[in-house]
A and B are shown apart, each in its own frame.
Chain A
Amino acid sequence: MPRRMTAGIAPVRIAGSTAALLLVSAASVQAHTEGGIAGGIAGGFVSGLTHPVLGWDHVAAMVAVGLWGAFLQRPAIWLLPIIFPLVMAVGGALGVLGVPMPAVETGIAASAIVLDLMIAFAAKPPLAVAAVIVGVFAIFHGHAHGTELPEAANAMAYSIGFVVATGMLHMAGIAFGLLVRWPQGRIAVRAAGGVIAAAGMAFLTGIV
């Protein structure tokens, strides 16, 4: 059978069996979580997973990265979700090492506003410019995560949690941003960008 015909079948089976294996092994690890290694890992992972999700500014910016990437289409649609975690990690390293960064929270809030305004106004700068904008804001987000990393129950699990959460938010933004292929979807995406940017401005200025 030609490789092309099996290309769709084999990876599904392998992925399914791999997922089943991981689920089974994960179940055995979690059976007793009275603390100890399993509790520390689980607690750290959940803590990291929820850190970006529980802050509107993190959520808005992460989704906006995915949205904007989808708006800019290839290669930005996948390049931005690759660049962001890596640059965020650099910012996180700075936070862990105690390197001060001024106005981190303002930078995070500004990231949501700027990125969503880019979407609202259908801005399509060159890829390098978009990457630099996203990268600069990623430093602020990473620094905020990194500052809390030493306090986490399990630093490694915490890191895995917030990187995964960040990636999932990007994917959510990309999924919504794929609507731009339709005229109504394009309007919806731009409107969403405008609403989020306005909400961000309201939060930042204290109106809300």
Chain B
Amino acid sequence: MKPARVAVAAAAVFFLPSLVHAHSPIEGIGRFYGGMLHPLLVPSHLLLLIGLGLWIGQQGLRHIEVGLLAFAAGLLPGLACAGLGYASPLPVPLLLAPAAMMGLWVAAGWKLPREVIGVVALAAGLLIGLDSLPDAGSPRELALTLLGTGLGAGFLLVHEVALTEFLQRPWQRIGVRILGSWVGAISIMVLALAVAPGAGDRLP
């Protein structure tokens, strides 16, 4: 529990300064904080992270270790490729399809082998990393942005997994499955929009 409290307090310290910038909180927020907010501001990333967090949190402690480590193992090289210019924006369906899949798994309450969790979490981390292309800037600015993005995505996922894993009462587990159905439903709807002729330009 103590490391989780430290993580929460640290994350709160990082988020609080953003309120001080009363004008243009995004422009003046700096590359680091902007990167940290990136997973929250990109809906496809947020959906994928929420689905992944709920799913990993449902699986049990031993599976959680694999999931979190695999996610980090995918995220870091993805961010590195994005920073070095070896990546390009990914099609939104590539992020939404796994989000829909994980939403359905969460809704169904399925527990899967650790190997599957590892592979899926690795892929999710890689996709988010590759799609987190920073704005042009100096190497220092790029590094700060990517560092912020990695920390933001990591904090969000760890929080979510910890909360989901702690929710052990029957009604709480049901609530998690309902949230999973929401993630699945939203992802399916927007996926349809992505493949519908002429409507794809409505995707964020």
Interface of B, helix, strand, loop or mixed by DSSP: helix
B44/A156 in contact, CB under 8 A: yes
B4/A96 in contact, CB under 8 A: no
Residues of B within 8 A of A37 (CB): 41, 204
Q: A14-B163, A98-B196 are in contact. Are A159 and B19 (CB under 8 A)?
A: no
Q: A24-B16, A92-B192 are in contact. Are A152 and B202 (CB under 8 A)?
A: yes
Residues of B within 8 A of A97 (CB): 192, 195-196
Residues of A within 8 A of B41 (CB): 29, 37, 41
Distance in Å: Cβ of A49 to nearest Cβ of chain B: 13
Distance in Å: Cβ of B18 to nearest Cβ of chain A: 4
From residue 126 to 179 of chain A, which have CB atoms closer than 8 A to chain B?
Answer: 142, 145-146, 149-150, 152, 154-157, 159-160, 163-164, 167
From residue 33 to 81 of chain B, which have CB atoms closer than 8 A to chain A?
Answer: 37, 40-41, 43-44, 47
Which residue in chain A gives the minimum CB-CB distance to B175?
A: A78
B159 at the interface (CB under 8 A from A): yes
Distance in Å: Cβ of B184 to nearest Cβ of chain A: 6
Residues of A within 8 A of B47 (CB): 156
Task: Indicate which residue in B5, B37, B172, B193 contacts A96 across the interface (CB closer than 8 Å).
Answer: B193
Task: Indicate which residue in A10, A18, A27, A86 contacts B185 across the interface (CB closer than 8 Å).
Answer: A86
Which residue in chain B gives the minimum CB-CB distance to A96?
A: B192
Distance in Å: Cβ of A91 to nearest Cβ of chain B: 10
A15 at the interface (CB under 8 A from B): yes
Residues of B within 8 A of A163 (CB): 182, 185-186, 189
B25/A28 in contact, CB under 8 A: yes
B37/A92 in contact, CB under 8 A: no
Task: Indicate which residue in B5, B18, B155, B186 contacts A24 across the interface (CB closer than 8 Å).
Answer: B18
Task: Indicate which residue in B166, B192, B204 contacts A41 across the interface (CB closer than 8 Å).
Answer: B204
B190 at the interface (CB under 8 A from A): yes
A201 at the interface (CB under 8 A from B): no
B159/A159 in contact, CB under 8 A: no
Total A-B residue contacts, Cβ distance less than 8 Å: 161
B182/A85 in contact, CB under 8 A: yes
Residues of A within 8 A of B186 (CB): 89, 156, 159-160, 163
Q: A10-B166, A86-B184, A156-B204 are in contact. Are A17 and B189 (CB under 8 A)?
A: no
A29/B37 in contact, CB under 8 A: yes
B177 at the interface (CB under 8 A from A): yes
A184 at the interface (CB under 8 A from B): no
A18/B163 in contact, CB under 8 A: yes
Residues of A within 8 A of B188 (CB): 86, 89-90, 92-93
Residues of A within 8 A of B25 (CB): 28-29, 31-32
Which residue in chain B gives the minimum CB-CB distance to A83?
A: B181
Residues of A within 8 A of B167 (CB): 11
Q: Which residues of A contact B (CB under 8 A)?
A: 6-7, 10-11, 13-15, 17-18, 20-21, 24-25, 27-29, 31-32, 37-38, 40-41, 78, 81-83, 85-86, 88-90, 92-94, 96-98, 142, 145-146, 149-150, 152, 154-157, 159-160, 163-164, 167
Q: Which residues of B contact A (CB under 8 A)?
A: 1, 4-5, 8, 11-12, 15-16, 18-19, 21-26, 29, 37, 40-41, 43-44, 47, 104, 107, 155, 159-160, 162-163, 166-169, 172, 174, 177-178, 180-182, 184-186, 188-193, 195-196, 198-199, 202-204
New A-B pairs, 7, CB < 8 Å, besides A28-B37, A160-B186 = A6-B1, A10-B166, A24-B18, A25-B40, A31-B25, A156-B186, A156-B190
Could you list 19 examples of A-B contacts with CB < 8 Å? A10-B166, A14-B4, A14-B162, A14-B166, A17-B159, A18-B159, A20-B12, A21-B11, A24-B12, A28-B29, A28-B37, A29-B41, A32-B25, A89-B189, A92-B185, A96-B189, A96-B193, A156-B204, A159-B190
